[in-house]
Structure 1
Amino acid sequence: MTVKYIEDADTKTVELTVSGKVTREDYDRIADRMQSFIDAQGTVKLIEVIESLDGFEPSVIWPGIKFDFRNLRHISHVAVVSDIGWIGPVSKAAGALMSTKLRTYDLADLDAAREWVAAA
């Protein structure tokens, strides 16, 4: 499995862990679950753990953009957790354009990311 999905209704949090290449099958499996979670919770928080990233299948890009456009206002906090050098700066640049509160963390600081999101 390339993408692992965990949701916690008590904290209104979704945690995604990416390892490898994100396929259309991964996207389809997760997008409907996350949409249902957002619809049920109203506003959610997100932890994105990126252990490794070998890219995305091209068929994921447009549906992903539409999902983000529709749901970004319903995601209050995002913690991006990765040791991949370019992930942090790209995430911060994207975060500057959004109303969502975003922080980046190293993989060793995953617990701190979870604490920040839980306290929000």
Structure 2
Amino acid sequence: MPWLGSRARSSAPRPETLRVVSNGDADIFAFEVDGRIAQESIAAFQAHLSPLVERGGSLKLLGRIRHYDGFDPAILVDPKYLELKLSLLRQVSHYAVVGGPDWMARAITLLAPLLRMELRHFGEADEDAARAWLSSTNGSE
């Protein structure tokens, strides 16, 4: 049945859609999203971020959004992911999101006043400005 082939799962590994990126700044944790975020991507992401959360103190995040195609709904019920999210809500002092769809920029503008962290959106071409903003903050503002 050829029509099943288009929906059948491939044994080829999926490209990594959520990855930690080297940023040359130990004070900023940078990551990139490029596609649909799968549950296995979250596990790898947590492995990088958990030591920073366990260390305590404030964190600065830089999220570069190349292409966002949603996420695997199973992520929402993963207790380890939810625990990490709650820790991040307490520990992230500054979060710069670079790029992404238009609705994401609007959502960030609406959410920013409701969060303890400083949250800002920067256009796709403004990553240098995002890094400068994060670097100029002291983590306790």
* TM-score, scaled relative to structure 1: 0.88
Gaps of 5+ in 1: none
1:41 is displaced (CA, Å) by 5.2
1:87 maps to a residue whose letter is: M
One-letter identity of the residue aligned with 1:47: L
Extract unaligned runs of 5+ from structure 2: 1-15
Structure number having the greater strand percentage: 1
Distance 2:58 2:35 in 1: 28
**Which residue type is aligned with residue 36 of structure 2?**
K
- 1:21 maps to a residue whose letter is R
CA contact (8 A) 1:7 1:13 kept: no
Partner of 2:46: 31
Higher relative contact order, structure no. (Cα contacts within 8 Å, ≥ 6 residues apart): 1
Equivalenced residue count is 120
Q: Which amino acid aligns with 1:6?
A: V
Cα RMSD after superposing both structures: 1.9
Structure-2 change in CA distance of 1:7 and 1:35 (3 Å)? farther
What pairs with 1:65-80 in structure 2 (closer than 5 Å)?
65-80=82-97
Report percent identity of matched pairs: 26
Whether the 8 Å contact between 2:105 and 2:121 is mirrored in structure 1 is yes
Asked if 1 retains the 8 angstrom alpha-carbon contact of 2:95 and 2:120, the reply is: yes
